[in-house]
Amino acid sequence: MPVEGGKTDMERIGLFSEMEYVTVGDKYVSAFNRPFNEAASKNKQMLPGGSKEMSNLQAGYFDPHFVRIFEGEGYVSLNQVRRRHMMDEAKKNLGKAFLPSSGDKKLCGLGSYYGTLGGPVPFFSAQSKPREKYEAPGKNLYTNPGKKGTGYGYANITIGKQLTHSADFYDAPKLNYKKENEEHHRLVKGAPFKLNLYPREYFDTNPYSSEKPLPPIKKTEKKELLSHPFKPSSPGKKAGGMKAGTFDPYPSHSADPYVVKLANQISGKSAKIFHPPGGPKSRPIESIMTMNVKRALNMKNYKTASVQSF
């Protein structure tokens, strides 16, 4: 529809028609003053009655009255049952209760047998049992304590004796070589052997010179060349499905089913695995001090042996 200015809705906003106004004429109410549930303040509402808490009253349960587990069972008094049991046990007595002729005797001290029926027990006697005569064991191995020091720059701390110092001259190899050279020249007799009677010009002979006459020259034979190339009598056969181009005929088919051989069926030296023989093995070696300590402290005297003796 045309509006002010002479333009239609299509020309004004680019739509086919203008959207309808649903709330035309309604009063504006802000969201702050608008009620959350407007229907809650109108007409009657559902009142559940509030939550119930667990208590000794019947109102705390779902059932209207208390329901028993057993209905109509007989009442049993525990005191009555206890008295009946005592009466049944009293009927088993043959006579009156046993009363001693005199009152009970009181103990006069700890460990006293006064007032007992059996008297002293020999098993609990304080006397010592007879034992064998004690024989003192032999002396243990006495060793000196380890010597302190790192080993470098300290004397007399090793197991063996201290190495003695031997003087070594600075020019000892040179003097030894000089002595050996003089001894060698003393044993040599005369000057070195020299031969000056060689008759030829050169010191070494010519290995290629020979005084024998040369053999006659061999003549090379000329091969006759063929005038035309060689051609086979029949052309070569082409390979086909019947194997016509091979030299040998096609082998006949043999019905041999394929069976996988197991490992235990294969026999031969090549099938075995080579295992090299074991080489020499080292053995643990114990020190002399450890062996002596084991001899001195064994399973028979480890309780009686003292720590100071080691």
Output the CA–CA distances (angstroms, integers) from residue 9 to 6, 13, 18, 236, in the order listed.
10, 6, 6, 97
Q: How many CB atoms lie within 10 A of CB 297?
A: 15
The reported pLDDT for the residue numbered 137 is 86
**Token pair in block for residue 133:** 């005569």
Task: Give the percent of the chain with pLDDT over 90.
Answer: 9
Output the CA–CA distances (angstroms, integers) from residue 221 to 214, 226, 227, 229, in the order listed.
21, 16, 19, 22
pLDDT digits (tens, 9 = 90+) for 208-226: 777 888 888 888 888 888 7
Residue with the larger pLDDT of the pair 33 and 249: 33
pLDDT digits (tens, 9 = 90+) for 86-102: 999 999 988 888 887 77
Average model confidence (pLDDT) for the chain? 76
Residues 6+ apart with CB under 8 A from 16: 9, 10
- Above 60 in pLDDT, residue 3? no
The reported pLDDT for the residue numbered 120 is 81
The predicted model gives 260-281 an average pLDDT of 68
- Above 70 in pLDDT, residue 245? no
The reported pLDDT for the residue numbered 263 is 62
Helix (H, G, I), strand (E, B) or coil at 177: helix
- Above 60 in pLDDT, residue 133? yes
pLDDT digits (tens, 9 = 90+) for 46-88: 777 777 777 777 777 777 887 777 777 788 899 999 999 999 9
The reported pLDDT for the residue numbered 175 is 93
Angle at 190 (CA atoms; ends 184, 192), nearest 5 degrees: 85
The reported pLDDT for the residue numbered 307 is 54
